[in-house]
Amino acid sequence: MLYVLGVVLAFVGIALSIALHEVGHLVPAKKFGVRVPQYMVGFGPTMWSRTRGETEYGVKAVPLGGYIRMIGMFPPAKGQDPTMTRASSTGRFGQLADEARKQSLEEIRPGDDGRMFYQLPVWKRVVVMMGGPTVNLLIALVLFTGIFTLHGVAVATPKISSVSECVDITSAGQQARTECTSDMPLAPANEAGLKPGDTITAVNGTSVSTWDDVRQAIRDNLGAPLTLTVTRDGDPMTLEADPIVLDLPVYDENGQLQHDDDGEVVTERAGFLGASGSREMQEQPVTAVPGLFWDQVEQTYGLLVRIPEKLVGVAEAAFGSAERDPNGPMSVVGVGRIAGEVASSDAFGDTREKAVLLVSLLASLNLVLFAFNTIPLLPLDGGHVAGALWEALKKGWARVRGRPDPGPVDVAKALPLAYGVALAFIAMTVLLVYADFVKPIRLT
C-alpha cells in the first residue's frame, strides 16, 4: 500500500510540475495579448476539457508533457501574403515548413492581427518561452530552500566516527586497516589515544569547525608532531599525535576525487592520521541557500551534458548484464518506482526522512525540466528563445548598417531539425522506460 502511495505521489508531483510549467507560458502570453486556443496537460486523447473565454483547458491521456497552443507561432514566409496559404517551395523540407505555416495561418481569425506570437517584440517572446522553465526553477528553489533550512544538509563534522587500528603502508593504496599484522604500524590517531565520539575543536591551536578543516590541517602538517584539542564526554583534553606521510588522493572544492588526463586519481604527499569525522544533518541559514542551490543547478547541467554517455550505459544495462548507474537518467516510470521504494522501505528512515527524500526527488525533477527546456533546440523552449535572440541580432545588425528591417526569423525552416530532435527524445524515452522496467535503478 505504501509503495502505491509513493508512486501516486510521484505522478501527482510530476503532473503538477508540468501543469505549472505550462501556466508559466500561459500567463505572460495572455498578458501580452496573444490568443491561446488551448492549454493541455499530457498528450494523446483528451480525457477532460472545459472552455473558459477563448481558451480550452484540458487533460490528456498520456501524462508525459503538456503544451499551450498560441496562434502565429510561425510567421509567413518572406514576401508571402499572411492571408495566403499556398506553398512557396517544392523541396521536401520546404514543404514541411509550408505545411506548418499553413496550419498556423488556418487558426487566425478576423481581429487576430497584433495577437499572433511572432508579432510580439523579441523580449516578450523570450519572456513567454522562458516562463515555463522559470516556474520549474522557482519550484525547485522553494523545495530545496525548505530542505536546506528546515531539514538541513549532510555536513562532515569534526566528531570522530571511527579510528583505524593500523596502516598498511606496503599496499599500493596505503590504506587504513581494522585488521592488523605485525608489520603494520599503528595508525597515528590510535596511537595518540583518539576515540570514536571525541570532537576535535582545534589543531595545533587553530580552531576547526568542520571535518574538512581538520583534514586539511593534518594533510598540510605532513609528518610534523600534531597537537589535537578534543572534547570527550563534555571535558576538554589535549592529545599529541605523530602523523605519517602517505600518497593520498586529492579532492576538488566539491569533495570529489580529482582525476588526471588518463583518468587516474590524482594523489599528493600529505599527512595522515587515521580517523574519520561524522556526517550529520545541519540546518542551514537562508544566506547559504544561493550557494547550495547553485551547486544543484551545476550538477543538473553536468548530468545533462553527460546524457549521451549515460545512455550508452543504460542500453548496456537494459540489453546486457551491466548494472544501472544509480546517478544516471531515468524515465517517469523510474521516478515512480524510486518513490514507491522510498515510501515502502524502512531503510530510508522514519516518515519525516522519507518525506524529505520524496520532496528532494521532486525538486531535482523540476531542475531537470528547467535545464532540459533551456537547450537551444526546437521544439524545446530554448529553441524558440534562440530563434527570438537570433532575430534580435539580425535586426540590430541591420540597423547598424542602415538596412531595412529583415523581418521575423522564419523558425519554420528549422522544423526538419525539430523533428529530428523530437525523434531522438522519443527514442531516449523509450529506452529509459524499457530499462526502468527490465533493469530499474534501486536504492536498496
As a whole number of angstroms, the longest Cα–Cα distance in the chain is 93
User: What is 237-292 written as a DSSP string?
Assistant: EEEEE--EEEEEE-B-TTSPBPB-TTSPBPEEEEEE--EEEEEEEE---GGGHHHH
Amino acid letter for position 78: K
**Which of 42, 39, 38 is closest to 15 using CA atoms?**
42
Residues 352 and 349: their CA atoms lie apart, in Å, by: 8
Distances from the Cα of 298 to the Cα of 129, 204, 303, angstroms: 22, 36, 9
Residue with cell 544501472: 324
Q: No. of H helices and E strands in the chain?
A: 11, 12
Q: Indicate which residues carry an active-site annotation.
A: 22
Residues 245 and 200: their CA atoms lie apart, in Å, by: 21
What DSSP character marks residue 172?
Answer: T
- Residue 406 C-alpha cell reads as 529583415
**Residues ≥6 apart with Cβ < 8 Å to 371:** 297, 300, 301, 304
**Which of 96, 98, 105, 104 is closest to 77 using CA atoms?**
98
Phi, psi (deg, nearest 5) at residue 50: -140, 145
- Residue 289 C-alpha cell reads as 541557500
Q: 78 near 410, Cβ under 8 Å?
A: yes
